[in-house]
Amino acid sequence: MIKRIFLLVALILPFYFLQANIVILNGLSHNYKVENGKVYKGKISIENSGQQIQDVKLFLQDITYQSNGSIQYSAPDTNSKTNAGWIQLNTNFISLKPKEKTEVFYEITIPAQINDAGSYWSVIIVEPVEKIKVDNEKQGINITSIVRYAIQIITDVDSENAKPNLKFEEVKIEKEQERRILKIAISNDGTLYCKSTATIEIYNKKDGQKLETFSSLPMGLLPQTSKSFHIDITKMPPEKYNTVIIATDEDENAFAINVELEVKND
Q: Is 12 left (phi over 0), alpha (psi -120 to 50) or beta?
A: alpha
Q: What is the DSSP string of the chain?
A: -HHHHHHHHHHHS-EEEPPP-EEESS-SEEEEEE-TT-EEEEEEEEEE-SSS-EEEEEEEEEEEE-TTS-EEEE-TT-STTB-GGGEEES-SEEEE-TT-EEEEEEEEE--S---S-EEEEEEEEEEEEPPEEE-SSS-S--------EEEEEEEEESGGG----EEEEEEEEEEETTEEEEEEEEEE-SSS-EEEEEEEEEEETTT--EEEEEEPPPEEE-TTEEEEEEEE-TTSPSEEEEEEEEEEETT--EEEEEEEEEE---
What pTM, to 2 d.p., does this model score?
Answer: 0.85
- Give the bridge partners for 71, in sequence order: 65
pLDDT at 251: 86
- What separation in angstroms does the CA of 258 have from each of 5, 180, 205? 70, 20, 13
List of residues 6+ apart from 145 with CB closer than 8 A? none
Kindly give the parts of the chain with pLDDT less than 70. Answer: 1-20, 131-145
pLDDT at 221: 97
pLDDT at 122: 98
Q: Which domains does the chain have, with CATH numbers?
A: 16-158 (2.60.40.10), 166-263 (2.60.40.10)
pLDDT at 21: 87
134-172 tens-digit pLDDT: 555 555 555 556 789 999 999 999 999 999 999 999 999
Neighbours of 146 (CB within 10 A): 13
Q: How far apart are CA 153 and CA 151, in angstroms?
A: 6
